Amino acid sequence: MSDAILTDKRFHDDDAAREHLEALRWPDGAVCPHCGGADRQSKLEGESHRPGLYFCGHCRKQYTVTVGTVFERSKIPLHKWVLATHLICSSKKGMSAHQLHRTLGVTYKTAWFMTHRIREAMNVEVSGPLGSDGGPVEVDETYWGNTDKNNGKRGYAHKMKIVSLVERNGEKRSYHVANVTAKTVTPILRKQMSEKARLMTDESSVYTKVGREFAQHGVVNHSAGEYANGDKTTNTVESSFAILKRGLYGTFHHVSEKHLQRYATEFDFRWNTRAKLGFSDTDRANAALKGITGKRLTYRRTHSFL
């Protein structure tokens, strides 16, 4: 029987965590985050130098592996950052800041900031248009919470809206929109989908006109009780919504409109690195750690909603 993954040294020792991060960020050796120099990089190991310090022979500046990342200038031990990233990446429905602060032994405010920095690392560049091989891309919208205090309202106008595109056996991309209309949805589909793609939607008129711009527009009539007609279905994107909703309701409980896109991106990241595509929990966490470069969040917490 193999040892539990959470006993690994990188989750308990800063030196091991730093070595793990260096191997991910600099697989071919240290690279200066100030000038981009890849040669003439020296590790400073004198007694007066802090662990993990490097010197660039080009710009003559010092740096560590966290410079130029979401971890820069953090006073939180590096092994806690690595552990937090693994916990969030391995939790299918996410991990709240309250749970993280209890698990890591940090304050709630610190855990809140950590979770948002890690979500920023999960915001990776898209790989190209969906459906480039002529495959089906399912598109649908879902609704969450309330934008005002009248929780008893009927319909969806007062709710927050998310539109998602899912390539079958592939990638998912979600977007928080002000309203679900042809005007707001059409630019997203044009930018994120290949013209070769086969668009799959429900019978909503939002997709009628833009659907003509793709190789095929398959429609399932949900109002008539139809959920699949051959390969015409939106079951995949709806399955992804089920995971998102369980996380929002069961893990985070309250998510403000200001941060809704970050949470949607977090769930997209886990979907795009799921086991079905060959990713383990460690692979997923490593993918997030590779995404820490070039991203900084400096705002302070303004409310307690998660």
Q: Characterize the bridge pairing of strands 136-144 and 160-167.
A: antiparallel
- Other residues' Cβ atoms within 10 Å of the Cβ of residue 56: 22
Find all residues with CB under 8 Å of 144, minimum gap 6, and list them: 159, 160, 161, 162, 245, 248, 255, 260
The strand pairing partners of 167, in sequence order, are 137
Question: pLDDT tens for residues 117-170?
Answer: 999 999 998 889 999 999 999 999 999 987 766 555 666 778 999 999 999 999
CATH number of the structural domain 136-257 = 3.30.420.10
**Cα 90 to Cα 241: distance, rounded to the nearest angstrom:** 18
Tell me the H-state helices in 96-234: 97-104, 108-122, 182-192
The pLDDT value recorded for residue 295 is: 76
DSSP 67: T
CA atoms within 13 A on the CB side of 199: 28
Say if residue 249 is exposed, middle or buried (CB neighbours under 10 Å; 0-12, 13-18, 19+). middle
What pLDDT score does 24 carry?
97
Q: Over the stretch 247-267, which tens digit does the pLDDT of each residue have?
A: 999 999 989 999 999 999 999
| Domain spans of the chain, in order of start | 5-122, 136-257
Copy the structure tokens of residue 188.
């997203």
Strand order in the sheet with 62-63: 41-44, 53-56, 62-63
Q: What is the pLDDT of residues 65-109, one digit of tens each?
A: 999 999 999 999 999 999 999 999 999 999 999 999 999 999 999
Q: How many CB atoms lie within 10 A of CB 91?
A: 16
Where do runs of H (alpha helix) occur along the chain? Answer: 14-25, 78-90, 97-104, 108-122, 182-192, 235-247, 260-272, 281-290
pLDDT at position 208 over 80: yes
Arithmetic mean of pLDDT over the chain: 92
